[in-house]
Amino acid sequence: MRVVVVGAGEVGYHVAQRLANERHDVVVVDTAAHRLEYVKSHLDVAVLEGSGASPAVLRQARIKDAGLLVAVTNHDEVNLVSCSVAREYKDILKIARVSDPGFYRGESQLHPETFGVDVMINPERELALETFRMLQTTAARDIAVFAEGEIQIIGLEVLPDSPAAGRTLIEIAEGSRSSGMITVVVKRGDKVVVPKGATRIEGGDLIYVAVLPDFVHEALTLCGHQHSSLKRVMIAGGSTEAYYFARLLAQHDIEATLLVRERERAQELAERLEKALILNGDATDIELLELEGVGGVDAFVALTDEDETNILSALVAKDIGAKQVVTLVNKSEYAPLARRIGLDVAVSPRLSAANAILQYVRRGKVTRVALLRDTEGEAISFDLTARSHIAGHPLSSIDFPEGSIVAGVVRGNQAIIPKGNDELKVGDTVIVFALASAVDRVAHLFPA
């Protein structure tokens, strides 16, 4: 499929990268020549300099041949106009990045439908949701939620002295109530594999476990972690992400304190976030963090607009004693650095946006896509239709592509972590983890 990506920033780059890796015909449009040069030198895509809001530029990008327009510049207006220009092409799906909270509160007179937008993506709100889900299990490095939480895929570091360390998956299953969980991917160093029963888990591994809610505590215990509840959170920054995240905490009666450096922004947030405590101060100020009790919070979340400030404040908070730290990182090259220097979790708007966008690109009856951090893979939920040849067959008889594994099945109101003799049935929602090399072949198994 031909895809036109308007915007060569972090979000546009990542979406283009994923789609190019899956052999879509991608063209990236941007007004900044230096950004396009970077994209061209790193990705197998076409680039075009110009405004995505220009009809002439979109025609030059062969918009008439495209099946998807993804408008993800940093300017809502450009993204909306790009979709408006593409309205005359009937067979194209138009996705726009729109960050203005007004569009989501129903206050604006300019609704997205006015511009012909089919899907509206808000990376800042998506990141806030992802961070909130992750902190529900404070040991999690990453978390993807399916079927309204009935199946969760949790990324956990295996601690060296944990019950799982040094044992194979078969040995772990024999000594635990394993019917409610399955390990879907193991990362050791730079190597990522979909494991077999004989795969041995070692201390320091990052593993992703698909788990039913009642088995989360056991998964944590096996990896050497304790389960803890979320009651107090400190947020560094007054960014849009911080605003959305604080609203989520308030909705769940979780105590939130925001440290905002800019006085005017602090006053604005104090008016909009009635349940949160807003303090005007620098999140890298050690004395301020100690005074405000960062050592006693369940989580410290750094959500300023500056990556460097986020990393530094998170390191300070972790050193003082915050139980869990989450760091917003916009620059992709900073994500591995954050982990190497000891930060627990680095979150990124580009990944959050890509999670939301990719489900509209996949073949078949895709209901959700979640990119799993550090794995170059994704968890995808498919609705199984009568057109699929795998319907009515047990998993053990289905030739799933190398690099993929069924993580869960939702049948009516029942969530299942399946075994080899479990049969897939028409109407099931099937959750599959697949490495990037296997995504396209997995999708062929689930025709619409």
Quote the pLDDT of residue 90. 78
Greater model confidence, 22 or 398: 398
Mean of per-residue pLDDT scores for the chain:
88
Instruction: Report the range of poorest mean pLDDT among 153-167, 216-230, 245-259, 282-296.
Output: 216-230
Is 126 domain-assigned? no
Query: What are the Cα distances from residue 157, in Å, to 101, 108, 298, 319, 432?
Result: 35, 44, 19, 19, 21
The residues, any chain, with a CB within 8 Å of residue 206's CB and separated by 6 or more, are 141, 155, 156, 157, 158, 186, 187, 188, 374
CA distance 205 to 222: 13
Is 127 domain-assigned? no
Same domain, 88 and 113: yes
Question: 178: pLDDT confidence band, cut at 50, 70 and 90?
Answer: low
Same domain, 251 and 331: yes
Greater model confidence, 427 or 230: 427
Handedness of CA 433, 436, 441, 445 (dihedral sign): positive
Domain-ending residue, one of 160, 191, 222: 222
Same domain, 6 and 103: yes
Q: Is the pLDDT of residue 207 over 90?
A: yes
Is 241 domain-assigned? yes
Same domain, 328 and 430: no
Same domain, 336 and 272: yes
Report the candidate in 367, 378, 377, 375 with the shortest Cα–Cα distance to residue 427. 367
Quote the pLDDT of residue 40. 95
Greater model confidence, 4 or 251: 4
For 93-239, where are the alpha helices, taking DSSP H only? 102-105, 123-135, 169-174, 216-222
Residue-number span of the structural domain to which 23 is assigned: 2-121
Quote the pLDDT of residue 448. 77
Mean per-residue pLDDT, 312-338: 85
Q: Is the pLDDT of residue 29 over 90?
A: yes
Q: Is the pLDDT of residue 49 over 90?
A: yes
Quote the pLDDT of residue 112. 60
- Would you call 183 helix, strand, or coil by DSSP? strand
Is 357 domain-assigned? no
DSSP assignment of 78-115 equals: HHHHHHHHGGG-TT-EEEEE---THHHHT--SS-GGGG
Same domain, 338 and 241: yes
- How many domains does one find in the chain? 4
The beta-carbon contacts of 27-30 under 8 Å, at least 24 apart in sequence, are: 27/2, 27/3, 27/61, 27/62, 29/4, 29/5, 29/57, 29/58, 29/61, 30/6, 30/73
Whole-prediction pTM: 0.69
CA distance 283 to 312: 9
Same domain, 158 and 187: yes
Query: What are the Cα distances from residue 50, in Å, to 59, 64, 171, 348?
Result: 11, 17, 58, 27
Same domain, 96 and 24: yes
Q: Is the pLDDT of residue 360 over 90?
A: no
Is 337 domain-assigned? yes
Is 24 domain-assigned? yes
* Share of residues in the chain with pLDDT > 90 (%): 57
Mean per-residue pLDDT, 63-88: 92
Q: Is the pLDDT of residue 246 over 90?
A: yes
Mean per-residue pLDDT, 275-302: 92
CA dihedral 199, 166, 378, 155 (to 10 degrees): 160
Same domain, 7 and 113: yes
Q: Is the pLDDT of residue 324 over 80?
A: yes
Question: 426: pLDDT confidence band, cut at 50, 70 and 90?
Answer: very high
For 240-392, where are the alpha helices, taking DSSP H only? 240-251, 263-272, 286-291, 307-320, 334-340, 349-358
Quote the pLDDT of residue 232. 93
Same domain, 345 and 406: no
CATH number of domain containing 107: 3.40.50.720
How many Cβ atoms sit within 10 Å of the Cβ of residue 412? 8
For 175-306, where are the alpha helices, taking DSSP H only? 216-222, 240-251, 263-272, 286-291
Q: Are 391 and 429 in contact (CB under 8 A)?
A: no
Quote the pLDDT of residue 113. 67
Same domain, 146 and 209: yes
CATH number of domain containing 173: 3.30.70.1450
Mean per-residue pLDDT, 115-138: 81
Domain-ending residue, one of 162, 195, 222: 222
Domain-ending residue, one of 325, 352, 379: 352
Same domain, 342 and 401: no
**Amino acid at residue number 237:** G
Instruction: Report the range of poorest mean pLDDT among 127-131, 159-163, 395-399.
Output: 127-131
Mean per-residue pLDDT, 124-147: 80
Q: Is the pLDDT of residue 351 over 60?
A: yes
Greater model confidence, 26 or 90: 26
Is 38 domain-assigned? yes
Is 63 domain-assigned? yes
